[in-house]
Amino acid sequence: MGSNCNPSKRVEYRKEKDELRDKLKHIRFPALELSKTKGESLASEQNITKSLSKKAINLPKKKFYRQRAHSNPFSDHQLEYPKSPNEMNWTKLYPGFVDPNDPTKLLSKVTIADIGCGYGGLLVDLAPHFPHDLILGMEIRVQVTNYVEDRIIALRSKDPNGKKYQNIGVLRGNAMKFTPNFFEKGQLTKIFFCFPDPHFKQRKHKARIVTKTLLSEYAYVLKEGGIIYTITDVLDLHEWMVKHLQEHPLFARLDAEWENEDLCVSIMRNATEEGKKVERNKGDKYIACFKRLPNPEIIL
């Protein structure tokens, strides 16, 4: 943690943000209406509105949320996850897309996933370009997830029309273990892996986010014709991901011409904090995109 971040200030700041987050993360702005099914009274809503009028919902300060750059995906992180996709309550993440005829359902499903979303830069930059797609960030680190939640709350609150950034959400999760618990077969159209942990030591390569086994899970939740996007500044990791994706029978690499014309590739290059850091340091960025192929016919 940087010397400019006083520990007591950090604790106080996080406590204040935790309280605000609990009140606001399931609310659709600007109406500030809480679901009556959750037992919230009108008086509670008025108190929340009153408290907000006294203090603006500012964008979170990153220095108060800093954690280690990566986390061990094999550790027990005490994560919450549904037994199956149909048991996942997405209304908490996307209150702006709740079906007015059935408040337990959304008008559409998540179709874009940013695995290991970090501080949410890609989510925020993708949001206005895909206003009708629900975009999900999955992040395993607690404080980083909290930062993204607070960032989304602040961005939503600043839109007087209550439309911007309603289509992005974040949850704390481990994609290496629980991807099929959240997504149905063929649900996603795009999956992003931006600057994942390189796990340099050979004995740690099994913890990389792209492996033969994991690719079969990604192929399951990605629709035919869907795209996997990868970007890293580590050549060895880039070659590893390309090798495993090329060897998998359900993926085919897209050429450089396609990459140069694709909007998401353009956004992905500099949207993330890591990407901006690489840019400042004049480092290399290695990109590879793969298309999900149709399932092969089974001939009996």
Residues at the binding site are: 116, 139-140, 174-175, 194, 272-274
Q: Which residues are catalytic?
A: 197
**What is the helix (H) or strand (E) element at residue 192, kind and residue range?**
strand 188-194
For 135-174, b/e burial (b = at least 16 CB within 10 A) is bbbbbbbeebbbbbbbbbbbbbbeeeebebbbbbbbbbbb
Is 123 in contact with 117 (CB distance < 8 Å)? yes
39: left (phi over 0), alpha (psi -120 to 50) or beta: left
Assigned token pair, 166: 């309603």
Is 229 in contact with 264 (CB distance < 8 Å)? yes
Would you say the C-alpha torsion 34, 35, 38, 42 has a positive or negative sign? positive
Binding-site annotation, residues for S-adenosyl-L-methionine: 116, 139-140, 174-175, 194, 272-274
Instruction: Report how far residue 144's alpha carbon sits from residue 119's, in angstroms, rounded to the nearest whole number.
Output: 6
Residue 13 buriedness (CB in 10 A; 0-12 / 13-18 / 19+): middle
Q: Is 14 helix (H, G, I), strand (E, B) or coil?
A: helix
Q: Return the ∠ at Cα 225 (arms to 220 and 227), rounded to 5°.
A: 75
Would you say the C-alpha torsion 53, 58, 63, 66 has a positive or negative sign? positive
